[in-house]
Structure 1
C-alpha cells in the first residue's frame, strides 16, 4: 500500500469518527498486554507505517496485511491525547519487538555458530585449529612409521621443470623464451593447415603441441595387491598391445641390422614406441642435438604415464614396478635420462623428485638412484630432507657406510650449522666429526677428489702424499666402483671455497689424529672390510659414465655411416652396375683408422659390416709363411 492511499483512508476514517458519537477506543492496560512478549500478535498502529515504511517492506506481507485489516480504528477529537499516548506506547512496544527480534537473531546466529564450531571441532578444522593440526600430524607420523617408503613421497609441484625455471629466472623471462621458440618453430614448420591435438594432462612432463595423439598401445595391469612384507604396496606391470608387439618385432629386426632409418620408420607408424624413442634419444645426444634428445625422452615418459592403471599412484611411494619384467624396463631408462636432462638444465629440485620416483618404483634400485640422490638433495638445498632420508630409508647396509652418503651427510650438517637451524640441546654429531669419520672410513676418496676437482694448493700435495691417503685401492671391488661413481657425480660441489677449506681442515685433523693413534686406522679398515666383504663387484651393472655430466659426442659425418646398413646400399649399387655391365666389387675397401675420432671408431667397430682390413700382425705372419713355403 502506498503512502498516499493510506493517508486517504485515514482521512475518511477521521470524518466518520467526527459524525459518530459511539466510537470508543479501548486504551486500557489490557491492550498493553497485547504488546507484551506473551501475546502472539502485538497491536500495530497504522501511523507508524508512514514513518517506518522501509521497515514494513522488509516484514512478511501476510502479517502486515492482517494487522492493518484487523485494526478498524475510529478516531475522536476528544481522544487525541489518548491517541498520542497510544502511539507512544505502540512505538515503545514496537521497539521492544524489534529488540526481541534482534535478540532472537543474535541468539539464533550464536546457536548456529555454536553448532558450526561443534561440527568443525569434530572435523578438527574449526576454532581449535591447533588440536586439528596436531591430530593430522599424529596421523602423518603414524603413516610414516607404517610405510617404509613414505620418505620418498614425490611433490608433484616440483616435477615440472618449467615451474622451477620460473622460480629461478622469473615468469616473464621464461614466457618470452617460450614465445620465441614457438615463433621459430612455426616459421620452420611446413606450410599448410595445422590440426590442433588435445593431449592428456600429465604430471611428469608437459606434452608439446606437435606431438601426436596418444594411441593407447600400452596399458598396465595389477599383479599383486598389498604384499605382506611391504605394507600397502601394489605391484604392477606394463602390458603391450598387439600393434605394439608388432612394432617391437620390427624394431628388433632393424636393430639387428643397425638401420636407424628403419627405426625412424617404425616411429612414423607407431609414434610412441619406447625402444625406438630411446634409440633416437641416444643418437641425438651423441650427435649434439640435446633438445631433440630431451624431446624424445619426454615423449617416452608421456606414453608411459598415459598407460598408468587407475590404482597406480607413484607419487605416494607405495607402488612397485619390478625391473625384472621386461616391459617395465623402459620407464626406468626414461626416468634416469630425464633426471640427467633436468640436472643439465639446472633444475636440481625437479631432478631430486624424479630420483625419488625412480628409487621408489623398485626397492632393488636397478639404475643406482641411491648413489646420486644425495647429490641432487645438496644441489637443491634440501638438507633436512637428506638427514631424514638417511635415518628412515631401509637398506641392506646403513647408508652412512656408502661413500656418497658419508661425505654428503657431513656437507649437509655443515650447511645446517651455518644456517643456525640446529638446536642448542641437539645431541647429533657435528659436521667436523662427520667429515673426519668419512675420511677415515673412505681415505681413497680424497686423492681422487683432489685430482678430479682439481685442488691445486700446495697443502694438498702434503695431504695426498701422507701414508694414510696415498693409496687408491680400498681393498674391495664394490667399494672402489662406488667411490668412482661418487667422484664422477659429486666432484663439482667441492669446487666451492667453503667446502674445499672444510675438507682441507678435516684432512689435516685426521692426519694429526692418525699420528697420535695408528691403531685407529686398522679399526676403520676392519669396519670397511666388514661392510663390503664381497670380492666381486656387486655394482658392475652401473656404469660410471652414466653418472657423469660430460656427454661424449661423435661428429655428424661419422654418424652418417650408422644411419643405413652399407650392405643394403651395396646391393643397390651392384644392381645399378650390373645394368651397365660393370664388374661388381665383392667387398668394400677397408676404412682408414688414422686421424679419426677414437670414440667414433669404437662405435663403428661394433657394427657387423665394418671392415678395417687385415691386421699388420696377420700380414707379417702371412708373408713369413709364404717365405717358408
Structure 2
C-alpha cells in the first residue's frame, strides 16, 4: 500500500467518531463514540487499492482538499443548510462546545499517527532514497563500514540518473517557461491529420506514464508485443534481454523480408497493424531525418522508446543501476539505437542536461559501450555546465586505462577546470589550490595529442593570424597520431567538440598553452619524446578498435546523402520525395564533363542545379539576341 493510501486510512479513522446531531435528552456522546468504531471498521479497506492506477493526480487533489478542510466540515455544511431553512437546533451549540474542549486529543493523536506512518514507510523502504544512500546512513549511525554488491560490483555512482532531468520537456520549461511549452504540447497532442477537421469527435487515449518520454494522447495503447526477460544475476547485476511475444513473432520476419526487398510500403503495412514495432519505427525515423523532417523523426524515436519502456521487467529500473542489457543480443539493439538517436535529438533542441542523463543511462546499460557514449558524455557535461561532475566522473569511472588519456577527456578536463577556476575567483577561497591549473592541463593535452590542434584550427575554424605561426612549429605542423584507433578517436572528438572552441575565452586558453609548449620544447626536447612513448604504449594496437563507430554519428550536421542501406528506400515508390534513377539524372554528356556556365541564363543555371535531371537547353544569350532580332 502506498503512502497516500495509508494517509487516507488514518484520516478516515479520525473522521469516524463524528456523530449526527441529536436532540436534548437522547443518548449522550460517550455512548455514541463507543458505537461509532464498528461503523468505520465495517468498511472494506481493500477497495482503496482499486483506485491506484491512472487517476493518481485526482486522488492527490482530493487529499489536498481534505487536508485543508477542518474536522467539523460536515457539521458546518449541515448547519448552514438548516440555517437557510430557519431551523437551528440547540444540540449544535452543545456539540460544538464539547468538540472545542476535546480539540487537543485529536491533534496529539494525529501527530502520533504521522510519526507511526513515517516509521512504517521507513520499514517498508517506500522512500525514494537509493539503497546505497540508506546503507551509508545506517553505517554512520552504527559506526561500521559495510560494502554492498552495488558498491563493489555495480556501476559507478557517478552514473546515477536524476529522473527530474530525463525528459526534455522539463528542461524546456526551465528555459522558456511552462506557458510556451504547454502551448506546444497542446498542439503536439493533436495529430496533424486531424487538426484541420472541425466537428469531428476524436478518441483520445491515455497512455501510461513513462520516464524517458511524454507520450501524446493520440498514441494508440501499447500492444504488449514485447517483454523483457531476466537472464541471470551475477556479481550483483541483473542481466536482461528483450523478447518478442510468440503471437507476433512473425512480424520480425515480415520486416526482414520487406527490408531485403527494399519495399517501404510493406514496412508501412507492418506499422499499420503493429504500430509499436521498434525496427520499423527506427527505419522511418532515419528516412524522415534524411528527408529533412526532423520532428517526424524525433516522434518516431520517442514512440519506439515508449514501447520499449513499457516492456521493462519489474526489476529493471534506471534509478537503481544494478542492470546490464548486453548489445550482443539482437533484440536489445533497437533500444540502444533509439536511445542514441533520442540523445542527439535532445542536443539539437538545446536540452543538454537531458541529453547528459540519457548518455549516462546509455553508458550504464552495457559496460562495453557499443554506441560510443563515452566519447560524447564529456561534451554534454560541458554544455550543461556540470564541471564538478565531469572531474568526479573522470576520477571514479572504471575503465581499462585512465580516461584523461583519451583525446576528448584530455581537452575537456582543462575546460572544466578553467570554468571552475573562474567561478572560484569570484568567491572567497578556492578548493582547487592543490590541483593543477587549467593551463597546465591544457599543456599536457597538447603534448599528448599534438595533432588535435591542426584539426581544431581547421574545423572551428580559428582565423587568428597567430595560429598560422603556431602551426609552423614542427611539433604541431608535422604531428601524427601514430595509431589507427587514436586517429579515429581524434576525428570523433573534433567532429563532436569543435563548437566548444568557438568561445573566445577557450581560444585564449588554448593559445596560451600552445605557446608554453613551444617554449618548453626549445629548452628540452626530451619531454616530447616521453609523451610520445606514453601515447604509443596506451594506443598500441595496429587495428582500429573503434571502427564500428561512425564519425558522422557524432555530428550535428545531417549529411545530404543517406547511407547505402537507406538509399533504396529513398528512391522507392513509397517515399514522398521521389528521385529518378541515376541513369535519368544526367545524360552521357553531363557525366563526362560539366556543362559550361558562361553565356547562359543565370535562372536556368540555378534551376538546373536544383533539378539536374531536367534538360533546360543551352539558353545562350546569343540565341536570345538572334530571336529578339527576328
TM-score computed with the length of structure 2 as normaliser: 0.68
Which residue matches 2:322? 318
Which residue matches 1:330? 334
In the TM superposition, residue 245 of structure 1 has moved relative to its aligned partner by 2.1
8 A contact 2:203–2:218 mirrored in 1: no
Q: Aligned to 1:215, which of 217, 223, 226?
A: 223
In the TM superposition, residue 591 of structure 1 has moved relative to its aligned partner by 3.4
Q: Does 1:564 align with 2:573?
A: yes
Which residue matches 2:554? 547
Which residue matches 1:574? none
Which residue matches 1:536? 543
Q: Aligned to 1:377, which of 378, 381, 389?
A: 381
8 A contact 1:315–1:357 mirrored in 2: no
Q: Distance in 1 between matches of 2:442 and 2:324?
A: 35
Q: Does 1:268 align with 2:253?
A: no
Q: Closer, same or farther in 2 for the Cα pair 1:468/1:549, shift >3 Å? A: same
5+ residue gaps, structure 1, are 1-53, 61-97, 125-131, 570-587, 597-611, 613-629
In the TM superposition, residue 189 of structure 1 has moved relative to its aligned partner by 5.3
TM-score computed with the length of structure 1 as normaliser: 0.68
Q: Distance in 2 between matches of 1:479 and 1:215?
A: 45
Task: Report the RMSD for the aligned CA atoms in angstroms.
Answer: 3.7
8 A contact 2:287–2:570 mirrored in 1: no
Q: Distance in 2 between matches of 1:59 and 1:175?
A: 51
Q: Distance in 2 between matches of 1:433 and 1:338?
A: 36
Q: Secondary structure at the match of 1:195?
A: coil
Q: Aligned to 1:523, which of 521, 530, 533?
A: 530
Alignment of 1:403-482 (within 5 A): 403-420=407-424, 423-424=430-431, 426-482=433-489
In the TM superposition, residue 192 of structure 1 has moved relative to its aligned partner by 3.9
Q: Aligned to 1:198, which of 200, 206, 222?
A: 206
Q: Closer, same or farther in 2 for the Cα pair 1:193/1:425, shift >3 Å? A: closer
Q: Which one is further off, 396-405 or 193-202?
A: 193-202
Q: Closer, same or farther in 2 for the Cα pair 1:138/1:292, shift >3 Å? A: farther
Q: Secondary structure at the match of 1:315?
A: coil
Q: Secondary structure at the match of 1:224?
A: strand
Q: Secondary structure at the match of 1:314?
A: coil
8 A contact 1:312–1:319 mirrored in 2: yes
Q: Aligned to 2:238, which of 226, 234, 237?
A: 234
In the TM superposition, residue 177 of structure 1 has moved relative to its aligned partner by 3.0
Q: Distance in 1 between matches of 2:169 and 2:583?
A: 49
Q: Does 1:295 align with 2:295?
A: no
In the TM superposition, residue 136 of structure 1 has moved relative to its aligned partner by 6.6
Q: Does 1:247 align with 2:251?
A: yes
Q: Secondary structure at the match of 1:469?
A: helix
In the TM superposition, residue 134 of structure 1 has moved relative to its aligned partner by 8.6
8 A contact 1:257–1:565 mirrored in 2: no
CA-to-partner distance for each residue in 1:315-366, whole Å, 9 max, x for gaps? Answer: 3222000001111111000000000000000000010000000000000000
Q: Does 1:591 align with 2:580?
A: no
Alignment of 1:181-196 (within 5 A): 181=188, 185=192, 186-188=194-196, 192-196=200-204
CA-to-partner distance for each residue in 1:353-391, whole Å, 9 max, x for gaps? Answer: 000000000000000000000000000111111111111
Q: Secondary structure at the match of 2:477?
A: coil
Q: Closer, same or farther in 2 for the Cα pair 1:326/1:378, shift >3 Å? A: same
Q: Distance in 2 between matches of 1:182 and 1:473?
A: 53
CA-to-partner distance for each residue in 1:459-510, whole Å, 9 max, x for gaps? Answer: 0001112111113521000000000000000000110011111111111111
8 A contact 2:495–2:554 mirrored in 1: yes
In the TM superposition, residue 592 of structure 1 has moved relative to its aligned partner by 3.8
8 A contact 1:150–1:316 mirrored in 2: no
Q: Distance in 1 between matches of 2:139 and 2:204?
A: 46
Which residue matches 1:135? 137
In the TM superposition, residue 188 of structure 1 has moved relative to its aligned partner by 3.6
Q: Aligned to 1:286, which of 281, 286, 290?
A: 290
Which residue matches 1:90? none
Q: Closer, same or farther in 2 for the Cα pair 1:540/1:589, shift >3 Å? A: closer
Q: Closer, same or farther in 2 for the Cα pair 1:323/1:529, shift >3 Å? A: same
Q: Secondary structure at the match of 1:238?
A: strand
8 A contact 2:407–2:489 mirrored in 1: yes
Q: Distance in 1 between matches of 2:465 and 2:351?
A: 35
Q: Secondary structure at the match of 1:591?
A: helix
In the TM superposition, residue 191 of structure 1 has moved relative to its aligned partner by 6.9
Q: Aligned to 1:497, which of 480, 486, 504?
A: 504
5+ residue gaps, structure 2, are 1-92, 124-133, 592-612, 614-630
Q: Closer, same or farther in 2 for the Cα pair 1:213/1:538, shift >3 Å? A: same
Q: Distance in 2 between matches of 1:475 and 1:554?
A: 31
Q: Which one is further off, 258-267 or 426-435?
A: 426-435
In the TM superposition, residue 116 of structure 1 has moved relative to its aligned partner by 7.0
Q: Distance in 2 between matches of 1:494 and 1:163?
A: 28
